[in-house]
Chain A
Amino acid sequence: MALLEIRNVTRRFGDFAAVDDVSLAIEAGEFFTLLGPSGCGKTTLLRMIAGFDLPDGGAIVLDGKDLAGDPPERRPVRTVFQSYALFPHMTVAGNVAFPLKMAKVGGAETDRQVWAALEGVQLAGKADRYPHELSGGQKQRVAIARALVTKPRVLLLDEPLAALDAKLREQLQLELINLQKDVGITFVYVTHDQTEALALSHRIAVMNHGRVEQLDEPSRIYGFPRTRFVADFIGHCNLFDGVVAASAPSGGGSLVDLDVAGLGRIRTLTQASVPAGSKGSVAVRPEKVRISSSVTQGADDNHCAGHIRDFLYMGDVTMYVVEATGGQRVEALLANSEAGRTKFFEAGDAVEAAWRFDAGHFIPG
């Protein structure tokens, strides 16, 4: 049985359903992420797990026990707040000792556990400092130590890295992964940052308009987005809308030929069977698209001729926008890793864009 179960939870504000009939099962020891744009309901769901908000329908069950009657202070759940919410009148050690005092843990035991928790986040040397004397990253680590010191069943993290700069964020992401592995506590992490979600999580629930659009491992969320929203929200994605011309069973799914306006016939894969004549899109990640100045197509390739319309140089990679002869635009991401080269093409160059049929992915609708 799952550690934390969200069963058909709904939360309405007036006519607006912030969380709309969401069901999730989060396993013990899992790093689980709720990912979505602002207003998608992820924070509302987190606050309901913490107990700051109550569902209008459904149940939140931890260890087989419905949490409905428990106020936040009695739930074995801790939250790391986006604003850190450190007590400014207490030292680092005082902040970390706070939940132990509330739990009436004895003095010597408190000292020992505070020390261990601060060691765990490499802040033992800062025990006597006040929060205003710490950097943003240090404050975040104190907040995590304070939330973990009483060994909760679940740790909720509400965009904990959003206020930090990119370099520090990356470093703390690595620390979070290792910390979660060490303590073995279930993390439920809320973020709108898809790279963060992909980097940290065991599983991701992508939310939109109060519903879960897709629940999967990061590589599957990225590689096989189930809806247009997921494809578009996670990273960059070429989405070619078209009509299914032919569909043949292949392995567990189907091989689909799609007529796309301005591009021609595109072959792609799908898990489910798709009837001919139905509408859908092909999702192709830009890094899966190759472009070359000569025709180098293989048998398994989709390809189109066109010219470079725009490009965006980003240092390690360059994003090219290829305009096909039919008018459809195709984005391609090329690594600038070849020695002695800064880029491969100029705007206006005639090129051929190609990708393997199994690099794409069919999204119905």
Chain B
Amino acid sequence: MRWKPRGGSMPGTSSPAEGAGVSASGARHPSWQARDRGTGRWLVSGPPLAYLLVFFAIPALIMVVASFTPPGEYGGLAPLFEDGKANLTLEAYERLAGDPIYWEVFAKSVVYAGITTLCCLVLAYPLAMLVARSPRKYRDLLMLLVILPFWSNFLIRVYAWMIILGPQSALSRAVNAVVEPLGFEPVSLLFSSFAVLVGLVYVHLPFMVLPLYANLEKHDPALLDAAQDLGANAWQRFWRVTFPLSLPGVWAGAALVFIPALGIFAIPDILGGTEDTLIGNLIKQQFLETRDWPFGSVLSIVLTAIALALAGLAAWVSRPRRTA
């Protein structure tokens, strides 16, 4: 109802010419814009598409073909065509199907990746929440600290764990100083499943923090006020409001941790003992040591299939539902 006095004519009697001027200069794009939009789009998105095609889709296809090819005499692959007919075999698949030891390695890899994902979630959630609820001016700095480890080489960081977990380390001595007086054998932290898991969690933690933070940071603080106002204590506010709303972030983080952890070979190579062979190590062996490319391809394909199946399962479990 605030108003400022205005002199002159009655409002609402603007001249017809004025009205026409508005519509003439209004919402029509010059024709060159529409014509060139398609070309521009392909110019921008073409290179990354071509990149993915050449370096992802085609190699994946080669791998599928390799899995049906007999191994070459000196490693690699036998020629695809021999004596005028296709040289294809199911040998590699039969070998995988016939030997349970490979399935045990697959199962162990899934378990390790699963434990890694859970540990990362438990560690990353409070961290992401802390950052998301810090004053805005500190958030970028805190997130920078989270990704700071990426600034040093991956292998160097894993080798650092060899020193931290090694028999002469303060940590090992401290553990054994507790364990030995209790009458147990001295334990070796390094070259153990424990070391592998520590390494896996350490390396993958930022991949869980980032999507969780991105999700939590967007939560409307008024929702927590509302929950508290409606009688929810701190735990209920977390469990009934914050956590369900963060599930997309949890799933994104879980995928970013689980899938790489499933195929990783460097960490079990460096930190694991002899029985800590994971599927990544096995695949690496097939290509670099045994030089059995077809079998390595089969293992890779099955690994990809398992990852896809688990991702599909997760998508199904987390599908939107009408629940109260």
Q: Which residues of A contact B (CB under 8 A)?
A: 50, 52, 71-74, 77-79, 81, 83, 85-91, 93-94, 97-99, 102-103, 128, 130, 146-147, 150, 194-195, 235-236, 309-313, 319, 321, 347
A312 touching B6 in the complex, CB below 8 Å, given contacts A91-B322, A94-B324, A97-B324: yes
Counting chain A CB atoms within 10 Å of each CB, the highest count among B6, B223, B229 belongs to B229
Nearest CB of chain A from residue B220's CB, rounded to whole Å: 7
- B1 interface hit (Cβ, 8 Å): yes
Q: Which 3 residue pairs spanning A and B have beta carbons closest together? A: A102-B231, A310-B5, A94-B324
Q: Is the CB of A93 within 8 A of B231?
A: no
Q: Is the CB of B228 within 8 A of A72?
A: yes
Give Cα distance in the complex from A239 to B233, angstroms. 52
Give Cα distance in the complex from A98 to B236, angstroms. 11
Q: Which residue of A lies closest to B237 (CB)?
A: A73
Nearest CB of chain B from residue A218's CB, rounded to whole Å: 15
Give Cα distance in the complex from A87 to B227, angstroms. 9
Q: Choose one: A73, A88, A97; the contact of B245 (CB below 8 Å).
A: A88
- B230 interface hit (Cβ, 8 Å): yes
- The interface size bin for chain B is 20 to 34
- B323 interface hit (Cβ, 8 Å): yes
Give Cα distance in the complex from A85 to B177, angstroms. 55
Q: Tell me which residues across on chain A come within 8 A of B245, comparing CB atoms.
A: 88-89
- B43 interface hit (Cβ, 8 Å): no
Q: Which residue of A lies closest to B8 (CB)?
A: A347
Q: Tell me which residues across on chain B come within 8 A of A90, comparing CB atoms.
A: 323-324
A309 touching B5 in the complex, CB below 8 Å, given contacts A85-B225, A93-B324, A102-B236: yes
Give Cα distance in the complex from A311 to B3, angstroms. 11
Q: Is the CB of A73 within 8 A of B232?
A: yes
Show 27 A/B contacts (Cβ-Cβ < 8 Å), sorted by A. Answer: A52-B228, A72-B229, A73-B228, A73-B230, A73-B231, A73-B233, A81-B225, A83-B220, A83-B222, A85-B225, A86-B226, A88-B245, A91-B323, A91-B324, A98-B230, A103-B231, A128-B322, A130-B322, A146-B230, A147-B229, A147-B230, A150-B230, A235-B1, A310-B7, A312-B5, A312-B6, A313-B10
Q: Which residue of B lies closest to A312 (CB)?
A: B3
Give Cα distance in the complex from A206 to B225, angstroms. 26
Give Cα distance in the complex from A105 to B8, angstroms. 66
Counting chain B CB atoms within 10 Å of each CB, the highest count among A72, A74, A94, A103 belongs to A72
Q: Is the CB of B5 within 8 A of A150?
A: no
Q: Choose one: B5, B6, B232, B322; the contact of A102 (CB below 8 Å).
A: B232
Nearest CB of chain B from residue A225's CB, rounded to whole Å: 15
Nearest CB of chain A from residue B136's CB, rounded to whole Å: 18
Q: Is the CB of B226 within 8 A of A81?
A: yes
A52 touching B233 in the complex, CB below 8 Å, given contacts A88-B245, A312-B5: no
Q: Which residue of B lies closest to A89 (CB)?
A: B244
- B241 interface hit (Cβ, 8 Å): yes
Nearest CB of chain B from residue A238's CB, rounded to whole Å: 13
Q: Tell me which residues across on chain A come within 8 A of B323, comparing CB atoms.
A: 90-91, 94
Q: Tell me which residues across on chain A come within 8 A of B324, comparing CB atoms.
A: 90-91, 93-94, 97
Q: Is the CB of A98 within 8 A of B227?
A: yes
Could you tell me which residues of chain B, from 179 to 233, have a CB within 8 Å of some CB in chain A? Answer: 220, 222-223, 225-233
Give Cα distance in the complex from A353 to B322, angstroms. 66
Q: Choose one: A79, A93, A97; the contact of B226 (CB below 8 Å).
A: A79
